[in-house]
């Protein structure tokens, strides 16, 4: 069971997200090390990384505990992503979209149409959407002209419920999710329009609203 340093952080992240360690539980270095079959050293390194990511927090004088998240935290994390992606989009609009970026946008928008054009969703579509959605957002963030915004978003996305991929929740009610993705696709296309038109204020507002799909639209669609 080889585990390079970053891999340990990933494993721990997954264990926490999967609820293997309940929120608020205290994590001992020794215990975690034993569970992963490694020594304490890489665990200690991973703890520092996870602490910065906000998944762990210091438990008093000694050790770490799994951070507890309130509903307000979830809402805020989504809003944080909204304002940051909004900032990235506005900068891109103000700076201008290159022809290559334009093509990439069109490619991922086309992919989105492909998923939705048949009028309903199947299981595989969810993974397709997650991927194209990720690429679309990544394209905006990476085109903002500075890694600082990308970093801030990336750090925020370490909170599992904050990432853009968390749009699709309920795999049971696919017909219900279809309308959600339909709206998300509409957002994508509006955002693309605004970007190429250089409408900074509008694209920022659209991005911010787009981020809220996961938490404020569920009961309405």
Q: Which residues bind DNA (CB under 7 A)?
A: 3-5, 8, 27-30, 33, 38-42, 44-45, 60-63
CB nearer to DNA: pick between 3 and 128: 3
Rounded Cα gap, residues 76 and 218, in angstroms: 17
Least distance to DNA, CB of residue 150, Å:
22
Least distance to DNA, CB of residue 37, Å:
7
58, β-bridge pairs: 64
> What is the DSSP secondary-structure string of 99-162?
HHHHHHHHHHHHHHHHHHHTSS--HHHHHHHHHHHHHHHHHHHHTSS-HHHHHHHHHHHTSTTT
Would you count residue 53 as binding a copy of itself (CB under 8 A)? yes
CB nearer to DNA: pick between 39 and 127: 39
Would you count residue 100 as binding a copy of itself (CB under 8 A)? no
Taking CB under 8 A as the rule, which mask of x and - marks residues 182-201 in contact with a copy of itself? --------------------
Exposed/middle/buried for residue 180 (C-beta within 10 Å: 0-12, 13-18, 19+) = buried
Find the length of the chain: 221
CB nearer to DNA: pick between 64 and 192: 64
Contact 184, 133 (CB under 8 A): yes
Contact 207, 191 (CB under 8 A): yes
Taking CB under 8 A as the rule, which mask of x and - marks residues 125-164 in contact with a copy of itself? -------------------xxxxxx-xx--xx--x--x--
Would you count residue 165 as binding a copy of itself (CB under 8 A)? no
Q: Which does 63 bind (CB under 5 to 8 A by kind): a copy of itself, DNA, none?
A: DNA
């Amino acid at each position: 069971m080889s585990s390079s340093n970053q891999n340990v952080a990933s494993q721990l992240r997954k264990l926490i997200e999967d609820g293997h360690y309940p929120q608020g539980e205290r994590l001992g270095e020794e215990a975690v090390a034993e569970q992963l079959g490694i020594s304490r050293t890489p665990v200690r390194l991973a703890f520092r990384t996870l602490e910065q990511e906000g998944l762990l927090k210091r438990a008093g004088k000694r050790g770490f505990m799994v951070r507890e998240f309130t509903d307000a935290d979830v809402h805020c994390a989504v809003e944080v992503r909204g304002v940051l992606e909004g900032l990235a989009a506005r900068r891109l609009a103000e700076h201008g979209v290159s022809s290559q970026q334009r093509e990439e946008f069109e490619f991922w928008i086309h992919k989105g149409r492909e998923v939705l054009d048949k009028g309903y969703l199947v299981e595989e579509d969810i993974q397709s959407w997650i991927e194209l959605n990720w690429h679309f957002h990544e394209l905006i963030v990476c085109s903002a002209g500075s890694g600082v915004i990308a970093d801030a978003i990336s750090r925020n996305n370490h909170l599992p419920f904050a990432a853009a991929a968390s749009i699709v929740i309920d795999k049971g009610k696919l017909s219900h999710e279809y309308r959600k993705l339909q709206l998300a696709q509409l957002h994508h296309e509006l955002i693309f329009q605004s970007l190429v038109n250089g409408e900074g204020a509008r694209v920022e507002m659209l991005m911010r609203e787009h981020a809220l799909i996961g938490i404020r639209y569920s009961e309405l669609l």
